[in-house]
Structure 1
């Protein structure tokens, strides 16, 4: 553990996990907290509930495909959705810098309201703080959410051969933030994939019993998310490089910037681990959902290796894909 917090401690990768385990789990860890993935799932009065919280510090505040307000709502809804829950209620707390433009604040609030209306989720509580100029960069938002876990869904142990589905092209949010932050002029349309995932859960409700686990690959990207699942399951992952959906423009920008798309955040994609025998049927059903047309099977789990992710490359070799270690792009969400 380092002596001081650095930016890489917040990128969602190896050093974030170390900070959480060495500081927070050490002092207030409990079974519900340490066993959680994207949300805590617990029983209350014969209902299974999911509860999650997240803070948003994205820079810039507005970007193609979204803004900090839409991102805050979708991010929390998605953490509930990948836990198999129907999102119901959110809290919304804002920390605002003195002198922040009211028109900009109104625009963000309108975006939050629109995202809630489109998903049927209600904000029922919140908090507002204003701090001295220079104490915060414009505005930071925290949202918490609660939902009811659907009866059809139970996370299950992963076994040899289980398939990995991704519900669309990767790295689109992280790349969009990089393009906007560094004022890169490029041809073609690049925009964040920021969108809610609860519609996927609703459409797949009858087939949720064939799904082992779900996760949204936000900070740390697909690579880090799969490493987390591999570690928890004590199974290995074999990825097929040719099968991973990446738009040409996204790939080109990342090559130019020296970034790896596998580690860049998605804000509207879901990783689904499904039974091998049902994975193709699930994939066809997912492809019919708006925004998921580019869904594909990108790999499978294996018992031949433990807690590691391997990539079968286009040239026929294999390479280890570890969790994010270096801070590629801070403040992406």
Structure 2
């Protein structure tokens, strides 16, 4: 499932390239399906179409329409909170580098952090299949407790449901979180000339989970990157307080996250293929599977848009943090082609990076 391709090399006149880009840009995800499929949960085009046509249409309000990692809510006192929620259905439940328990904490903590909040409290709801081993449940809950303590959050409420054997895939976990946005913290509008920083290597989590399933006949030493990025975000914002935009590139990967940025701003995102950090073992596994690392999930990374006057300070601060030691500038914001992500290839051409199409991956978050 490679990204749609557009060549700007030999064989295409400049005007034709621009025309093809404009035609591509006008293609918006639309819900055409009558039944829900696994592709609707993959974090790509089908997910966006389902969210727009069903949930945003039904619940439409100003906070929801931002479609951020979390909703930013203003209290009558003038204080602001961020609220986020997520469900976790990964298989296997335990994989190299983590478990569904780690993901359930890290996923919501990271959404709050990328909304500009300091995460404080979580709720946790469990759907258990009849026959699930209590000893395994205790281990997963212990993982959650350890992850929450390390992230500086408390799990303060929750719920448990048990369904008949065969009605669930062992264990599903849903977490919701609340964070406090520091007074005066704002994110200025994204502008042309801004730079994109990626905090580390792409695709580690998705690749680790795919290989852990054991049905791909590939052996490789890959650990998930699952981690709470809240302290990394605070480190970046201290060094680059004018940071424009933050996201953790989970389902759909960096490619889909950059498309969300382009569509939200109407600006272009130009990525440099040579700068994109991918571990050789991850790149090799993706090549064998025919998957673009740009579309493989991460669970401990941040994409940040930083102004050119602060990018050096922000990059240095991230590299000084354990979770950001491999941080690199991977692209820039341009006026054209608007609402589109373009990759400058190592061969001197360009190709459009679309949102993830279909469901090429097993459930990974």
State TM-score, norm by structure 2: 0.89
1:1-333 correspondence runs (5 A):
1-44=32-75, 45-151=77-183, 153-184=185-216, 189-333=221-365
C-alpha change, 1:184 and 1:331, in structure 2 (3 Å) is: closer
Instruction: Kindly state the Cα deviation for residue 185 of structure 1 after the two structures are TM-superposed.
Output: 5.9
- SS of 1:130's partner is strand
Instruction: Kindly state the Cα deviation for residue 182 of structure 1 after the two structures are TM-superposed.
Output: 3.4
Mean Cα deviation higher: 30-39 or 183-192? 183-192
**Conserved in 2, the CA contact under 8 Å of 1:38 and 1:52?**
yes
**Conserved in 1, the CA contact under 8 Å of 2:205 and 2:297?**
yes
Q: d(CA) in 1 for partners of 2:185 and 2:249?
A: 20
- SS of 2:57's partner is helix
**Conserved in 1, the CA contact under 8 Å of 2:343 and 2:353?**
yes
**Conserved in 2, the CA contact under 8 Å of 1:172 and 1:193?**
yes
Q: d(CA) in 1 for partners of 2:312 and 2:184?
A: 19
Gaps of 5+ in 2: 1-31
**Conserved in 2, the CA contact under 8 Å of 1:33 and 1:40?**
yes
Q: d(CA) in 1 for partners of 2:217 and 2:279?
A: 17
**Conserved in 1, the CA contact under 8 Å of 2:240 and 2:311?**
no
Aligned residues: 333
**Conserved in 1, the CA contact under 8 Å of 2:240 and 2:314?**
no
Mean Cα deviation higher: 132-141 or 30-39? 30-39
**Conserved in 2, the CA contact under 8 Å of 1:226 and 1:309?**
yes
Aligned-residue CA RMSD (Å): 1.2
Instruction: Kindly state the Cα deviation for residue 208 of structure 1 after the two structures are TM-superposed.
Output: 4.6
**Which structure has the bigger radius of gyration?**
2
Cα shift readout 1:124-150 (whole Å, capped 9, x = no counterpart): 100000000000000000000000112
Q: d(CA) in 2 for partners of 1:255 and 1:205?
A: 36
Cα shift readout 1:78-127 (whole Å, capped 9, x = no counterpart): 00001111000000000000000011000001000001111110001000
- SS of 1:94's partner is strand
- SS of 2:309's partner is helix
Q: d(CA) in 1 for partners of 2:354 and 2:69?
A: 20
Gaps of 5+ in 1: none
- SS of 1:209's partner is coil
